[in-house]
Structure 1
């Protein structure tokens, strides 16, 4: 890796600043920025102002995972191909197609408030200062300094992806476009809020439990942010994040889960039969805007080659020209870009009214939000930036882009979205299932009273079904029972996978003597995915084999598995286990591990149990956990500050030489939590290390 060479002036600045407590190449005064590391290495960042805290967050996160933070910012800069080669160039093309950099540059000053811009400036100062003082950790020296355009572009890119833009582009290019998406049951999340009237201690309970990838640009990072200006929150964010995305402050907390109402539209343009780049709209032939962009792609780890590509734009939005036709995509996440500021306002909300006012900014393009506070309020909204569409057309599928009457300019107001506050049942939850099944049946919203054009749905999943099996509609709930629900590893009585896999449990052992033992194990399996379960190991192998076959052979993702395929799959499991684990009874913990550095621990969980886990092939026949249970926060709201327990899947640092690279793994696999606090004095009293950035 090439190192940045410090110029004489920077060397002089380093020597001068090393003697003070306000070190900063950028000129940012850091004497009021303090980072305290606890016993698990989690950063607690203190500052006089919110901007001080943003600077400290950038510095602390860079210490722990500068590589991934840089990858996020390289994506926002459309420079990922210079570092990752072809894989990165595909992201760079996406940035050019969506024009995220132009949008960020043009809208930044007008759309973001001055106080939030101060936050961005401070964060960027922290990132740029860290790069200058740690040149050996810089991935691409020409990427620095990072600017506000880069970081806001990265936000826009990420939120557009979460709105379905990347999936739509991939399907357009592959020639398989329609708007329906196959969901990954392990890619979901859980959020649970219990009202004080339903708990035996009279406290509100909140479970914040997003099922993210365990590593990479959307893996959770834990941080505590505390300023003298009223910012005091603990929670999770992604690399490059300016604030906590979901977590708990002194007054309240919230959890996000991904939702899938109709956030994006795809239009196929009616092209002129002879004239290139001409498309018809309302009887008029318009010309596609065409632009040549240059993707700089690293090849063979030796040279960077400029590759020309073209991107197009129509009145309907960013446009792709393919052999199957010409398609445009349109989503609100490319128009409303103030999501990072909305998260900041949510971070600082002191009560339900302030939190609701922050949500009313309508800048987050999606996400269910489940909320609880210390003032006896629980709340749920299936938030989304949803267009008010022309009811004459079916926007659930690809539309012919031939008329401006199919364009939309307005969005449903926040109060029009599905939401509930303090239902009589005393609980609200979401597991990525229907917004109309968020509580007890008597309290649920009426699906028929909401416009069909919003694209909401009525479906359940295994986690929502299982939650209702274990959550009673009456009676008091203890905190220990609440924790047992959150950590539940069992499938519901009736399965709700997209592929109907019931045939795995309907085969008679007497009719299949070569797999009779395996069938007996499955037929008597209690559907719990503990590490000591043989049934869970067999089912996990079968589930992944069926999933992979469905994708590879482009089969109907909602098909019903027949008995023949079920028997073949179980036979394949038997052969696989005999080959890789000869002479052993294979349990889930033998087959599936949590792997980090030199550790490989037996790992619980299968897709779509409440404590979900998805794994991918690793080595020696073992699968490695990749996505599911990751960063978990459990909260009790009573008198005083909330009581908080958390665990992150690996640890606070992605640096392999850090003691916190893997020190939470044992807690995680044993479903144990560590106590955390928002109290500054307690943090400082117990901190292992307290320092200023650069010292």
Structure 2
């Protein structure tokens, strides 16, 4: 027995020693790729020497004698800090993820090959002006200088992830940067997902007119009645029952419905500013990732200094300020995508029906290489309307007649996309007028551009707007027959049709993804908007002060009061509060009374330390599910977020919407009060199972945790504790400090989408402007800059956004000199 014990002890000791050695080796290899910010490096391809000053947050300030070298420096620092992220973005756009990740990303690659984004990006290089092409080439040279340095000096392959997913890093090309912009356009455009959901809901509802309730229009003048979806295809059988949706493929860049993009921006003219200078606040909203989508940088160009948020892979400050102007971006919700049902020739499936008869598809073969498996050969097909999508992608087969296919029209699918030139022109503009002129070259993704210079403020929808026929059968709201001429696009509208607002009499402009204009179809911009609630709170905060300051704009950015809660709670609880006799402790009735007592005193603030936001959110979630599940069955799972307009329509019985409260499969006739009471009981049971029955001890922040997830390693057990960044947060789906809940899974209240960048610019004192991103500059998990801004971001704090060169040098943590050999 003693001998056995000794051998077991030796075995355990050796195992522990090998484990320590393995961890030590992994740390050594990973740490080799940590960038050194304080060095001199000889590089080829520059006109002169480049100086990169890193401030104490790791933000690079790039100085060079000519603009080309500044872009070279930006490419170099992007590759220093975010090479894995850039590589993943490029592979996603190219449809080459499966070369690294095997079969689990084949569906994603298949979709990306069919969209052919990378080909469109490559063709669009020639559509840029000379200055932009020069910037793209210089930027690519800077990225490649870093890749060459990694290879020649054995710098740990550039990032730890490359040890886990080994593949050569191809040199960066100008087309790669344009492909990143097109990929962002895909992530920010959700119109076609809305079309699919509307069509599926139309097929599932027992009364097609009820679609106006569950998918309500933003209040305003009505539109012409749409046909029932099935009526568009009278001789083609379509499923009349709802099915659960398929899970999203791995690394799919297309956002789920309601998650395609959002943002806030508002500006004040000098007469509404306490300092008599213009003000601008902007916080674009995206899914939380580690590292963030954004990377802060300062470029010292010949036109002056520019500082703000860049996207790794793109040679421009996409939002921020210069010495002369400041600009912010918000999702416009322009309807720039349409789906078409394409009827195949019954005698030849290689042809599809057009207004002029059957026509052959345009085709091309493409091979998807798959790690650990044989390659897959695809036949890519295009119609006059656009590329043919995979039949099962996004549950398209649930709305497509048997034997037909679906194509996609989208403004980003063009070979002359000059959006990059618009970004460079905007960055160099000296006035609001010049910036508006530069914005005309923008194609996709469509955005609301908010601008200030020292005297003027403006807001404009930028991006190409589709020209639709007034006789379109679905007005772009559902898939339509692609062989009917009236359904097809007729090019794009002129830039003069894009809504623009300048120097309003009230001195305030803003956008929270709300409805911005009320024009009849087809110049309507969109039927579906991203916000009907935050705009009300924004109006109250802006009009509550005669003049504003940088701090009042920050206060508005961080506001956590939910106008939806203030509107809906009195409606759904009006017949439940203070009714009935006191119930015994420990009974469900007593628990309901305690919940109602808490909510009765609540002001609608979605504060992470309070129990009321969690009770409210759980109640509304259970309420919507009870209202819709018996009508649309498993499709209710697609309605992951509460729609306040739907709840309000039902409880105010607008146009008879109160009928949603009656349960179809029960004999009694339920009232809305009955459903509200039952939903509250449902919510309290679920909260008790997950968080405990002591309601006063609940905390919204425990459920509303923001997880900035690593795109590849974020779900790997053990590793996820090191690569993901977690924070308890305030805010909610409808607050200005927006923190959109996941709406699915075991953590439906997790914060997954919000302000990944915040900036506030004050032209009364430009160097007092501030900004922050949600994680840190570095994508390297061993870097102190991986998550150092995350704590500030969570607390609602900011970094100084100064163009003062001496200030940057005083706070420097390192200076990199890129010198000619």
If the TM-score is normalised by the length of the shorter chain, which range does it land in?
Answer: 0.7 to 0.9
- Is 2:614 the counterpart of 1:537? yes
The equivalent of 1:91 in structure 2 is: 108
The equivalent of 2:287 in structure 1 is: 213
Query: Bigger CA drift: 275-284 or 170-179?
Result: 170-179
1:274-313 correspondence to structure 2 within 5 Å: 274-298=347-371, 303-313=372-382
Gaps of at least 5 residues in structure 1 are 1-19, 437-446
The equivalent of 2:183 in structure 1 is: 157
- Alpha carbons of structure 1 residues 664 and 43: separation in structure 2 relative to 1, 3 Å: same
Q: Confirm or deny: 8 A CA contact 2:332 2:448 kept in the other structure.
A: yes
Match for 1:485 among 548, 552, 556?
556
Q: Confirm or deny: 8 A CA contact 1:615 1:626 kept in the other structure.
A: yes
CA distance in 1, matches of 2:125, 2:745: 47
- Is 2:332 the counterpart of 1:259? yes
- Alpha carbons of structure 1 residues 406 and 625: separation in structure 2 relative to 1, 3 Å: closer
Q: Confirm or deny: 8 A CA contact 1:36 1:44 kept in the other structure.
A: yes
- Alpha carbons of structure 1 residues 407 and 143: separation in structure 2 relative to 1, 3 Å: farther
The equivalent of 1:319 in structure 2 is: 388
CA distance in 2, matches of 1:133, 1:209: 35
- Alpha carbons of structure 1 residues 169 and 390: separation in structure 2 relative to 1, 3 Å: closer
Q: Which has the higher helix share?
A: 2
Q: Confirm or deny: 8 A CA contact 1:510 1:516 kept in the other structure.
A: no
CA distance in 1, matches of 2:75, 2:615: 44
- Alpha carbons of structure 1 residues 326 and 595: separation in structure 2 relative to 1, 3 Å: closer
Q: Confirm or deny: 8 A CA contact 1:210 1:631 kept in the other structure.
A: yes
Structure 1 residue 221, shift from structure 2 partner: 1.8
Query: Bigger CA drift: 137-146 or 450-459?
Result: 450-459
The equivalent of 1:34 in structure 2 is: 51
Structure 1 residue 87, shift from structure 2 partner: 4.6
Match for 2:683 among 570, 589, 602?
570
Partner SS for 1:127: helix
Partner SS for 1:236: strand
- Alpha carbons of structure 1 residues 240 and 546: separation in structure 2 relative to 1, 3 Å: farther
The equivalent of 2:150 in structure 1 is: 134
Match for 2:470 among 388, 391, 412?
391
Query: Bigger CA drift: 286-295 or 581-590?
Result: 581-590
1:54-203 correspondence to structure 2 within 5 Å: 54-109=71-126, 111-135=127-151, 136=157, 137=159, 138=162, 140-164=166-190, 167=193, 184=258, 187-203=261-277
The equivalent of 2:412 in structure 1 is: 333
CA distance in 2, matches of 1:589, 1:142: 42
- Alpha carbons of structure 1 residues 421 and 513: separation in structure 2 relative to 1, 3 Å: same
Deviations 1:106-132 (A, max 9, x none): 3422x1122211211122122223223
- Is 2:547 the counterpart of 1:476? yes
Partner SS for 2:83: helix
Partner SS for 1:59: helix
CA distance in 1, matches of 2:174, 2:198: 31
- Alpha carbons of structure 1 residues 175 and 592: separation in structure 2 relative to 1, 3 Å: closer
- Alpha carbons of structure 1 residues 92 and 217: separation in structure 2 relative to 1, 3 Å: farther
Structure 1 residue 41, shift from structure 2 partner: 1.3
Larger radius of gyration: 2
Match for 1:464 among 518, 535, 543?
535
Structure 1 residue 616, shift from structure 2 partner: 4.8
CA distance in 1, matches of 2:201, 2:733: 29
Q: Confirm or deny: 8 A CA contact 1:518 1:574 kept in the other structure.
A: no
Q: Confirm or deny: 8 A CA contact 1:462 1:492 kept in the other structure.
A: yes
- Alpha carbons of structure 1 residues 320 and 651: separation in structure 2 relative to 1, 3 Å: closer
Deviations 1:94-114 (A, max 9, x none): 2321222332333422x1122
Q: Confirm or deny: 8 A CA contact 1:160 1:166 kept in the other structure.
A: no
Match for 1:605 among 731, 736, 739?
731
- Alpha carbons of structure 1 residues 291 and 350: separation in structure 2 relative to 1, 3 Å: same
CA distance in 1, matches of 2:529, 2:785: 42
CA distance in 2, matches of 1:271, 1:130: 50
Q: Confirm or deny: 8 A CA contact 2:553 2:760 kept in the other structure.
A: no
Match for 2:593 among 510, 516, 525?
516
Partner SS for 1:333: coil
CA distance in 2, matches of 1:173, 1:293: 31
Deviations 1:522-563 (A, max 9, x none): 222211012221112323444566788979931384554731
The equivalent of 1:15 in structure 2 is: none
Structure 1 residue 257, shift from structure 2 partner: 0.9
CA distance in 2, matches of 1:56, 1:169: 43
Q: Confirm or deny: 8 A CA contact 1:379 1:428 kept in the other structure.
A: yes
Structure 1 residue 186, shift from structure 2 partner: 9.6
- Alpha carbons of structure 1 residues 149 and 140: separation in structure 2 relative to 1, 3 Å: farther
Partner SS for 1:317: coil
Q: Confirm or deny: 8 A CA contact 2:576 2:677 kept in the other structure.
A: no
- Alpha carbons of structure 1 residues 488 and 673: separation in structure 2 relative to 1, 3 Å: same
Higher relative contact order (CA 8 A, sep 6+): 2
The equivalent of 2:18 in structure 1 is: none
Q: Confirm or deny: 8 A CA contact 1:69 1:217 kept in the other structure.
A: no
Q: Confirm or deny: 8 A CA contact 1:31 1:692 kept in the other structure.
A: no
The equivalent of 1:650 in structure 2 is: 775
Deviations 1:315-334 (A, max 9, x none): 22111364532122112211
Structure 1 residue 249, shift from structure 2 partner: 0.9
What TM-score results when the alignment is normalised by the length of structure 2? 0.72
- Alpha carbons of structure 1 residues 622 and 272: separation in structure 2 relative to 1, 3 Å: closer
- Is 2:273 the counterpart of 1:204? no
- Is 2:419 the counterpart of 1:346? no
- Is 2:335 the counterpart of 1:226? no
- Is 2:64 the counterpart of 1:47? yes
Structure 1 residue 405, shift from structure 2 partner: 5.5
**Two-structure CA RMSD over aligned residues (Å):** 3.6
- Alpha carbons of structure 1 residues 368 and 132: separation in structure 2 relative to 1, 3 Å: same
CA distance in 2, matches of 1:669, 1:204: 27
Gaps of at least 5 residues in structure 2 are 1-38, 152-156, 205-210, 216-254, 392-396, 581-588, 648-660, 662-674, 709-720
- Is 2:815 the counterpart of 1:690? yes
Match for 1:665 among 778, 781, 790?
790
Partner SS for 1:633: strand
Corresponding residue pairs, total: 653
